[in-house]
Amino acid sequence: MIKISPLQKIKKEIEIPSDKSISHRALMISSLSKGKTRIRNFLQSHDTLITLNCFKKLNVGITYKKKDKEVIINSGGSYFDAPKKLNLYSGESGTTIRLISGILAGQRFISCLSAAPSLEKRPMKRITFPLRLMGADIQGREEAGNEYPPLSIKPVKGLHSIIYKTPVASAQIKSAIIFASLFSKGITKIKEPFISRDHTERMLKFFGAKLKKQSGYILVEKSKLKTPGEILIPGDFSSAAFFVTLGLILKNSELRVKNVGLNSTRTGLIPALKSMGAKIRILHKNRSYFEPYGDILIESSSLKGITIKQEDIPLMIDEIPLLMICACFARGTTKIYGLKELRVKETDRITSMVYNLKKAGQDIETKSYKSGKETNWMVKIKGGKRIRPAEFKSFSDHRTAMSLIIFALASEKGGGIDDIECINKSFPGFISIVDSL
């Protein structure tokens, strides 16, 4: 058990590591582009290194300069060499397996995407189904009406375009289809029920892909990508969000988080927190080629409960555990709707958060409800309850672990957590920053 001692207050400027989603895409899109691309401020984490290894196995020229946080990619273009061993390992990275599937669907060799036990439990039919509609030969392990890793992908004569309405607002589903469309005949049209993060679209456009938005659809067609030579990845808003939360719920505190990605399809937590009464300001807003970034200034705030609707969830999908924590510190009741997707993250994050917050004496309940034909989930939290010191369980999920550490840091008596190794999945320097505070 790792002990977490409470913090009194913070007054500090911090810098957080680079964006995980954008780092994955930078490796993939640079590998698809003929020529040399220098990726600056690349995130060195378990998941992003898994993607890097996959492209090494596909014989893309990759130099990883760990000390400089740089990756240099030298690619021959969008068709790769068959891996010497059929298998490409996706570890625990959902972004790797789902996005690479779209790329491998258009290749001229057989491949297999294997996964670590936690990822083997995560659903893949959401990507295999639309990819098969495009003519791909992709198959997962079938179980209870869904498909799971490992995935096998065989070459086909050609892929073709589709018009597809994704049942779930998910950047991973959308991106898999977009990548396959780069190898397909015709114009693919994709529509999501709600907007999800658009890093793939932005970066592909920057690399010259034929991609545009029209009447609520994303239109994309076969494209030869051209490297811009260099890209710079901003800090990860999802990592910054842990400290944004801490700065708000700790008393007498002020925090500045520098150089954070501020793409509005990622930062849905900010307007949600502002409507709870959070004092958050954005300074030095800038643009790094295709993504906005800037500094976030946070002051201790007195929060009040709010209601979050399903359509807002994709814009803060990874920050919901933090929103639950803010709700515990707020006056009144917070209701968060549309949480179904949290059930299929690295762990079921509704269960992991409800279990731990209840253990700390919080008033939190979960309810299912009907939304059209499907069942969805909401949580209701009555804030202002005394926080009991507790021994938390991370469920081996990085975001559950970091959220609970923030919660314990802001409590009167602190607490403990069983496992922090999982944090390296996305945020290797998290503990050092906490220590520095």
Nearer to ligand S3P, 46 or 256 (CB): 46
Nearer to ligand S3P, 189 or 340 (CB): 340
Q: How far is the CB of 317 from ligand S3P (least distance, A)?
A: 5
Catalytic residue flag (residue 318): yes
Nearer to ligand S3P, 96 or 411 (CB): 96
Site string for ligand S3P, 267-306 (x = CB under 6 A): ----------------------------------------
Q: Does 95 bind ligand S3P (CB under 6 A)?
A: yes
Residue 87 to residue 57: CA distance in whole angstroms: 9
For ligand S3P, the binding residue among 7, 16, 21, 415 (CB under 6 A) is 21
Q: How far is the CB of 250 from ligand S3P (least distance, A)?
A: 26
Given a contact cutoff of 8 angstroms between Cβ atoms, the answer to whether 95 and 200 are in contact is no
Q: Does 263 bind ligand S3P (CB under 6 A)?
A: no
Q: Does 204 bind ligand S3P (CB under 6 A)?
A: no
Given a contact cutoff of 8 angstroms between Cβ atoms, the answer to whether 422 and 394 are in contact is yes
Distance of CA 268 to the CA centre of its chain: 13
Binding segment for ligand S3P (CB under 6 A), chosen from 6-14, 129-137, 170-178, 385-393, is 170-178
Nearer to ligand S3P, 21 or 394 (CB): 21
Nearer to ligand S3P, 111 or 175 (CB): 175
Site string for ligand S3P, 304-333 (x = CB under 6 A): -------------xx---------------
For ligand S3P, the binding residue among 41, 161, 170, 239 (CB under 6 A) is 170
Nearer to ligand S3P, 201 or 318 (CB): 318
Q: Does 172 bind ligand S3P (CB under 6 A)?
A: yes
- Say if residue 270 is exposed, middle or buried (CB neighbours under 10 Å; 0-12, 13-18, 19+): buried
Residue 67 makes CB contacts below 8 A (sequence gap 6+) with none
Nearer to ligand S3P, 21 or 411 (CB): 21
Q: How far is the CB of 21 from ligand S3P (least distance, A)?
A: 3
Give the length of the chain.
Answer: 437
Per residue, the 3-state secondary structure of the chain, as one string, reads: CEEECCCCCCEEEEECCECHHHHHHHHHHHHCCEEEEEEECCCCCHHHHHHHHHHHHCCCEEEEECCCCEEEEEECCCCCCCCCCCEEECCCCHHHHHHHHHHHCCCCCCEEEECCHHHHCCCCHHHHHHHHHCCCEEEEEEECCEEEEEEEEECCCCEECCEEECCCCCHHHHHHHHHHHCCEECEEEEECCCCCCCHHHHHHHHCCCCEEEECCEEEEECCCCECCCEEECCECHHHHHHHHHHHHHCCCCEEEEEEEECCCCCCCHHHHHHHCCCEEEEEEEEEECCEEEEEEEEECCCCECCEECHHHHHHHHHHHHHHHHHHHHCECEEEECCCHHHHHCCCCHHHHHHHHHHHCCCEEEEEEEEECCEEEEEEEEECCCCCCCCEECCCCCHHHHHHHHHHHHHCCCCEEECCCHHHHHCCCCHHHHHHHC
For ligand S3P, the binding residue among 115, 134, 171, 353 (CB under 6 A) is 171
Exactly one of 19, 198, 295, 318 is catalytic; which is it?
A: 318
Binding segment for ligand S3P (CB under 6 A), chosen from 167-175, 202-210, 214-222, 269-277, is 167-175
Q: How far is the CB of 330 from ligand S3P (least distance, A)?
A: 24
Binding segment for ligand S3P (CB under 6 A), chosen from 165-173, 288-296, 330-338, 411-419, is 165-173
Q: How far is the CB of 200 from ligand S3P (least distance, A)?
A: 7
Q: How far is the CB of 304 from ligand S3P (least distance, A)?
A: 27
Nearer to ligand S3P, 45 or 411 (CB): 45
Q: Sign of torsion, CA 200 83 147 156?
A: positive
Q: How far is the CB of 44 from ligand S3P (least distance, A)?
A: 16
Q: How far is the CB of 176 from ligand S3P (least distance, A)?
A: 10
Cα dihedral 127→132→135→138 (10° resolution):
80
Nearer to ligand S3P, 291 or 341 (CB): 341
Tell me which residues in 241-260 interact with ligand S3P (CB under 6 A): none
Q: How far is the CB of 155 from ligand S3P (least distance, A)?
A: 25
Binding segment for ligand S3P (CB under 6 A), chosen from 33-41, 164-172, 390-398, 409-417, is 164-172
Residues forming contacts to ligand S3P in the complex (CB under 6 A) are 21, 95, 170-172, 175, 197, 317-318, 341
Active-site annotation, residues:
318
